[in-house]
Structure formats: structure tokens, C-alpha cells
């Protein structure tokens, strides 16, 4: 919100009431930025070279990013029309919500989850329906199925869940989809899919041919595993009719030629990039194990981040991290999300996490039973 004096321009009241999007805090030169689930590695040199070679800044990009769609379509064994590219997967989320949910309609999702979800519902004029996470900070898919009403137009399933970390299993997802009416869109948000090591996790693109049901759309991104968060490029795989609806609400030409080129180059260098993803997942597992050894009770971490259920101590603990040069993401009254960053950040995170855990009262859900 700004402090500027009010003016008579009429803004939709629900929009005026929205808090502005809160980004993970930027870090000073000395600090580690562990607040936005970014990839700590720079893009590969080959990717940077391709970007440098891509000129033509005076020209508009190819509106539908055809080359990238063709490449992804081939990879996932679907038609080109079953792939849609957006300026980050959050753009596609917004398009899908705009396309399905209007005033009076309901958007169902788990909570706590990705902060953009409630905001997407409000901007579309729709009603956000939060379904509390169940045990282990996991999606409660039974409760989500029960929350679907005549007014529900779309449901979002986030696996692994941002910010808590656990996955939804393939069996849970399949059983859930059986219960969702065929005219309700299911958006499977897999922004962190590449970091998952749990063998039973849902994978919306496991089989060639894309999602089996026409009302399921899978979202992936180049921001996290592929390290291109700054260029903004993500994709959806789903039924062409659903993606056409998303395309109809899209702001034209928002995916730049550079983003498309970098995504293509990253797919070519995938083996090398996925080696780094394995390294980050290994670092995550070491961090999670050490946090548990230090006395924290934390949920399963399957993305590139860990979740400390710090409850009422969240803001105090976040300041302790910050004073030590670690910018983390606090959710007041709930918990702290810490991205898995540079190797040098791990010991520092552990040092602070170990020093604060004993400030949690005995019996606190964030504290492991001794
Ligand atoms: N989905 C989830 C669950 C996320 O955490 C994020 C990024 N924080 C996104 C989607 C959007 O990522 P992007 O727009 O960079 O692809």
C-alpha cells in the first residue's frame, strides 16, 4: 500500500483491500537469500551463450513460443496444442483461474499453500475456499473433495506443497480425481517436481500422452530446477480445449524470445542441470535430517526448501536468522520456509535453527518429542 493521498478513481473494493504481492526479501551482498525458493546455481555457460546470441530486441517474440511447445510436446508425447507456455507458471495459473472462475464461483485449494492462490481468486472476482492441511502438513484430499460444491469451478493441488514441502502420492491423486466432477478443472501445480525423490509421489507427466482426464492440467516451470526464475517461463500440459481457454485470457506476447531460447537451451543441457538438482535435493535431505537431530519436528521436505513450524515464535526466529545474514520467509503465526541455497548457507542455517528450537515450549508441534 502507498501513503499517497487518496484519489476518486474507483477501484474494485476487493482489489483495493488486497495486500500487494510480497516478494521474498532481497539480500544484501553478505547475506544468503533463502526466501524465494530460487536455484542457487547460475545458468550453465551454454545457456548464457545462447541468450547472448539471441538478439532482435526490436522484434516481438513468437506469440505462442512454438519451438518450445514443439520440444515439450515431443518430450511428453502429446500434441503441440496440449502444451501452453506462460511468463512463469504463475501466469498460467492466473489464466486458468480467469478462464474458469467468475464472480460467485469457487476456487478450492489447500491452505497453507502458495500465496498466489487466494490472490488469484480475488482478482478473478471468485470466492477462495481454503481447505486446511491435514497431518504432516499434507493436503487433506478427502476434505478437499468434500469442499467441492455446485459453485466450484477449479481445484488446485500443489505437490510438493509450497511452503510446507510434502508431496501428494499418485494413488491419493488418482483417487481424488475420481471424486471431482468432470466439469471442474483440477490444476496440478508441480513447480518443484524435479526435486522430488519420494517414489510414490504424483507425477502428472509420468506417462506419455499427458494427463488422462481432460479436466486435469499439469503446471511446471523453468524457474526452480532449471534456474531461470529471472526470465519468467513456465508451461502447462493438458487438454487443448482447456489450454485454449487459458490462451484466450493471456496477455499477448508476454513470453519473451529470450525466455523461450533459454528454456530450449536448458532442455538441451538437461542432464547437467538435473545433476545440480540432485545436488540440491541431497543438500535438502542433509539439512532436514540435521534439523530433526537438533530437535525440530518438520514435515517431509520434497521441494528445494524446508519448513520450520515455529508458530507464534515465527517473527522472532526469522529476525535471528536475518541477523545472521540469512534471509528466510516467515509466515507470521505459522512457520518459516527456508530455501535450500548455497552449500555455505547450510551450516549457518543449522546453527541458528539449533539455537532457537529450545525456545519452543515443551509439547509445541515444532518440537520433536525427546
Ligand atoms: N507454483 C508454486 C507452488 C510456486 O511456489 C511458484 C513460485 N514460487 C509458482 C507456482 C510460480 O513460479 P513461476 O511463475 O516462477 O513459474
- The tens digit of pLDDT for each residue in 97-114 reads 999 999 999 999 999 999
Closest CA to 202 of 154, 141, 246: 141
Percentage of the chain beyond pLDDT 90 is 87
Question: Is there a domain that residue 366 lies in?
Answer: no
Q: How far is the CA of 190 from the centre of ligand 1 (A)?
A: 9
**The three grid cell numbers given for residue 147, joined into one nine-digit string:** 469442499
Please tell me whether residues 71 and 214 are part of one structural domain. yes
Q: Is the CB of 229 under 6 A from ligand 1?
A: yes
Per-residue pLDDT at 24: 66
Q: Omega of the bond prior to 163 within 30 degrees of 0, cis?
A: yes
- Compute the distance between CA of residue 215 and CA of residue 207 in angstroms, rounded to an integer: 16
Which residue ranges of the chain lie beneath pLDDT 50?
none
Closest CA to 50 of 264, 271, 234, 272: 264
Q: How many domains does the chain have?
A: 2
Question: Is there a domain that residue 251 lies in?
Answer: yes
Domain CATH for 177 = 3.40.640.10
Q: Which domain holds residue 222?
A: 46-268
Per-residue pLDDT at 282: 98
Condensed to tens digits (0 to 9), the pLDDT of residues 63-74 reads 999 999 999 999
Per-residue pLDDT at 224: 97
- What is the DSSP track for 130-167? EEE--GGG---HHHHHHT--TTEEEEEEESSPTTT-PP
Q: Is the CB of 165 under 6 A from ligand 1?
A: no
Single pTM value for the model: 0.96
Domain CATH for 294 = 3.90.1150.10
Per-residue pLDDT at 163: 98
Please tell me whether residues 163 and 294 are part of one structural domain. no
On whether the CB atoms of residues 126 and 101 are closer than 8 A, the answer is: yes
Question: Is there a domain that residue 6 lies in?
Answer: no
Per-residue pLDDT at 22: 67
Task: Indicate which residue's Cα is closest to atom 1 of ligand 1.
Answer: 191
Q: Of 248, 268, 288, which closes a domain?
A: 268
Atom of ligand 1 nearest to the CA of 90: 14
Q: How far is the CA of 229 from the centre of ligand 1 (A)?
A: 9
Per-residue pLDDT at 23: 67
Amino acid at each position: 500500500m502507498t501513503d499517497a493521498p487518496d484519489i476518486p478513481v474507483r477501484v474494485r473494493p476487493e482489489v483495493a483491500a488486497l495486500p500487494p504481492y510480497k516478494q521474498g526479501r532481497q539480500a544484501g551482498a553478505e547475506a544468503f537469500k533463502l526466501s524465494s525458493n530460487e536455484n542457487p546455481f547460475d545458468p550453465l555457460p551454454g545457456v548464457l551463450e545462447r541468450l547472448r546470441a539471441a538478439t532482435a530486441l526490436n522484434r516481438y517474440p513468437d506469440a505462442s513460443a512454438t519451438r518450445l511447445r514443439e520440444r515439450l510436446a515431443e518430450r511428453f508425447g502429446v500434441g503441440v496444442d496440449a502444451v501452453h507456455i506462460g511468463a512463469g507458471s504463475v501466469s498460467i495459473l492466473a489464466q486458468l483461474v480467469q478462464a474458469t472462475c467468475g464472480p460467485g464461483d469457487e476456487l478450492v485449494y489447500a491452505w497453507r499453500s502458495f500465496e498466489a492462490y487466494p490472490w488469484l481468486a480475488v482478482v478473478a472476482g471468485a470466492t477462495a475456499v481454503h481447505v486446511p492441511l491435514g497431518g504432516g502438513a499434507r493436503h487433506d484430499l478427502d476434505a478437499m473433495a468434500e469442499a467441492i460444491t455446485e459453485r466450484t469451478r477449479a481445484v488446485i493441488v500443489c505437490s510438493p506443497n509450497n511452503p510446507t514441502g510434502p508431496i501428494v502420492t499418485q494413488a491419493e491423486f488418482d483417487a481424488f480425481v475420481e471424486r471431482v466432477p468432470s466439469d471442474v478443472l483440477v490444476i496440478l501445480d508441480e513447480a518443484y517436481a524435479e526435486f522430488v525423490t519420494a517414489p510414490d509421489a504424483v507425477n502428472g507427466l509420468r506417462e506419455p500422452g499427458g494427463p488422462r482426464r481432460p479436466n486435469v492440467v499439469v503446471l511446471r516451470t523453468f524457474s526452480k530446477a532449471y534456474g531461470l526464475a529471472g526470465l519468467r517461463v513456465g508451461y502447462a500440459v493438458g487438454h487443448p480445449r482447456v489450454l485454449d481457454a487459458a490462451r484466450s485470457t493471456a496477455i499477448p506476447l508476454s513470453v519473451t524470445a529470450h525466455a523461450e531460447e533459454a528454456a530450449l537451451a536448458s532442455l538441451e543441457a538437461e542432464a547437467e542441470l538435473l545433476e545440480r538438482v540432485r545436488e540440491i535435493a541431497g543438500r535438502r535431505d542433509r539439512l532436514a535430517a540435521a534439523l530433526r537431530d537438533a530437535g525440530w519436528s518438520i514435515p517431509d521436505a520434497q521441494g528445494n526448501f524446508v519448513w520450520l513450524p515455529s508458530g507464534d515464535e515465527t517473527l522472532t526466529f526469522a529476525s535471528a536468522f536475518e541477523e545472521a545474514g540469512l534471509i528466510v520467509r516467515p509466515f507470521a503465526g505459522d512457520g518459516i520456509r527456508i530455501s535450500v541455497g548455497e552449500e555455505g548457507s547450510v551450516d549457518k542455517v543449522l546453527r541458528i535453527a539449533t539455537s532457537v528450537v529450545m525456545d519452543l515450549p515443551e509439547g509445541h508441534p515444532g518440537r520433536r518429542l525427546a
